[in-house]
Amino acid sequence: MATLRRLRETPRHLLVCEKSNFGHDKSRHRHLVETHYHNYRVSFLIPECGILSKELKNLVMETGPYYFVKNLPLHELISQEFINTFVKKGSCCALTYNTNIDEDNTVALLPNGKLILSLDKDTYEESGLQGHPSQYSGRKIMKFSMEESVMMSYFSNYQIQEHQPKVSLSTVRDLQCPVLQSGELGGTPEMSCSALELFDWLGAIFSNASLNNEPNNFISTYCCPQPSTVVAKAYLCTVTGFILPEKIRLLLDQLCHYFDEPKLAPWVTLSVQGFADSPVSWRENEHGFRKGGEHLYNFVIFNNQDYWLQMAVGANDDCPP
């Protein structure tokens, strides 16, 4: 009964919200993006927008490619040739694919060249690891993200496939949006919604959930928080794949410039989700799956260059940085 009760419990998470301005010297926005390494989905929402600008569309279409390498021995990643070819020449990320972080052996290569191993007890004892590289021979499909096409030729002796991120573009009409004030992170009764209310609302939008709160809807009774306003149309873009932090930073920079010219929209959002089974979330902070595996962040970019930053992880992870 205790096990059944735990399964019925709503998964808990840690959510950190902060506000700043992109022009501040101590703004952390670039650092937080650049140290969240393993990203599988990026979404942005622009209210009062029906057509994406050429600059934004080009960035969206240039987020790939990434590569699958099947049956790759782990010792390949610590060979001097691999280090000279990829690690020393720029950003290279890798992550084992189709593994469960709480059950299987999982490996992640970080852009700074560090190799993170998340091993089960038997594998750890057999490997004899003492914090040093090992010729561990576990073989899993590895997913890489690298800008150079040399990846295909380097791993030509293995089963390697090039993939492009999946891009979804859509226009949402008559969308009910929360009213936000950049200086009021906690919201103001009858005047503006809070960062937490916006966070829940975005989850519903990106999940394509109904927001009508109809009595005969047995899937979702959620509705837009109040106060709210209805926008005639909003542009929603989602990119799914293996996406480098540098690509996300460029996208964030471009969204910051969205308000260089007057716009009807008072704010736009950029949301990023990490791989649920990555062994790390930010930097080298250990990450586990438990009931959800979430590690994600969201920017709310206001037309005065203020921003809200929301970072969320599972309750058993370390607090976001």
Q: What are the tens digits of pLDDT across the range 134-189?
A: 232 344 556 667 555 678 888 888 899 999 999 999 999 999 999 999 999 999 99
Angle, alpha carbons 271-311-183 (nearest 5°): 85
| pLDDT given at position 232 | 94
Query: Hey, which residues does 311 pair with through a beta bridge?
Result: 16, 297
| pLDDT given at position 11 | 53
Q: What is the mean pLDDT of residues 91-117?
A: 84
Q: Which helix (H) or strand (E) holds 249?
A: helix 245-256
Angle, alpha carbons 227-51-299 (nearest 5°): 50
Phi, psi dihedrals of residue 220, rounded to the nearest 5°: -150, 130
| pLDDT given at position 221 | 76
39 near 238, Cβ under 8 Å? Answer: no
Q: Which helix (H) or strand (E) holds 39?
A: strand 39-47
Token output for 162: 């090039």
| pLDDT given at position 134 | 28
| pLDDT given at position 291 | 60
* Residue 207 CA to its chain's centroid (Å): 15
pTM recorded for the entire structure: 0.87
Q: Would you place residue 6 in the very low, low, confident or very high pLDDT band (cuts 50, 70, 90)?
A: low
Q: Would you place residue 192 in the very low, low, confident or very high pLDDT band (cuts 50, 70, 90)?
A: very high
Nearest CA to 252 among 19, 29, 92? 29
Q: Would you place residue 4 in the very low, low, confident or very high pLDDT band (cuts 50, 70, 90)?
A: very low
Phi, psi dihedrals of residue 315, rounded to the nearest 5°: -65, -20
| pLDDT given at position 133 | 36
Place of tokens 């929209």: 265
52-78 residue pLDDT tens: 889 999 999 988 899 999 989 888 988
pLDDT at residue 228 tops 90:
yes
Token output for 100: 């469960």
Place of tokens 């914090």: 131
Residues 6+ apart with CB under 8 A from 281: 36, 274, 287, 295, 313, 317, 318, 320
| pLDDT given at position 146 | 58
Bond into 11 cis (ω within 30):
no
Least confident stretch, 164-173, 199-208, 279-288: 279-288
pLDDT at residue 7 tops 50:
no
